[in-house]
Amino acid sequence: MVFSLGRSKENDEINNTASIISKPSPVESLKNQVQQELALANATELVNNITDNCFQKCLSNPYSDPQPNCVDQCLNKYLKAWNTVSKTYIARIQDPSTSGEI
Amino acid sequence: MSPSNGKFLDSTELSQLDDSSKNEMVTFLDNETSKQKVQMSIHQFTNTCFRNCVASANSSSLSPQEEQCLANCVNNFLDTKIRVVKGLQHVKE
């Protein structure tokens, strides 16, 4: 390769490739940022809801000994309930006969 | 994550986005907003319906009755919502 101070087409291509690898485009990094923040918001919501529900079901009675596995079981049950609700809701909003009303 | 990996954009970078990138972002944000609305509804329904349908947490799987109750709960909630909207439209007239 010939050394030159000016910008050759070849150098530009190399620079562009390098910039794609080292740094995502502004649009891509903006999209990633939005998706990460949404994921965080959803995780926070889930943690709060599971804590509320499972605290109530497992530990709300101070007179009885807490069941050691209760919170773990409740957590798994909540996640399964989430999936059931999600399936039902999505089936309902995708049903063309009712989706217009919701 | 550190800003150096391109996660955070400063306002000068944002204002330099060209029109096609802006349009791409608008479409992207519209899609993400609709998806997030569905997500938040599922959070809300699960929270309400778990409270009503699951009596105890002495097992880590749902009984068939609990599963049926959750599905009914979601459908009843949506039916109620439709009825409320229709009722309010009637009041307005």
Listed residue (A70, A16, A46) closest to A7, CA to CA: A16
d(CA B17, CA B19): 7
Question: Which of B6, B42, B85 is closest, CB to CB, to A29?
Answer: B6
Residues from chain A that touch B66, judged by Cβ atoms under 8 A, are 81
Q: Quick check: helix, strand or coil at residue A39? A: helix
First to last CA, chain B: 54
CATH architecture of structural domain B18-92: Orthogonal Bundle (1.10)
Q: ipTM strictly over 0.90?
A: no
Q: What is the DSSP string of B50-73?
A: HHHH----SSSS--HHHHHHHHHH
The fold of A39-94 is Helix Hairpins (1.10.287)
What is the structure's pLDDT at A8?
47
Amino acid at A9: K
Q: Does B40 sit within 8 Å of A92, measured CB to CB?
A: no
Tens of pLDDT, residues B4-58? 444 466 677 777 788 888 899 899 999 999 999 999 999 999 999 999 999 888 8
d(CA A63, CA B6): 53
Domain ranges for chain B: 18-92
d(CA B59, CA B68): 17
The residue with tokens 């029109």 is B19
Listed residue (B75, B58, B23) closest to A57, CA to CA: B58
Q: Does B53 sit within 8 Å of A82, measured CB to CB?
A: no
Question: What integer is the mean pLDDT of A58-87?
Answer: 86
Tens of pLDDT, residues A7-64? 445 545 555 555 445 667 888 888 999 999 999 999 999 999 999 999 888 876 666 7
Q: Does A102 sit within 8 Å of B82, measured CB to CB?
A: yes
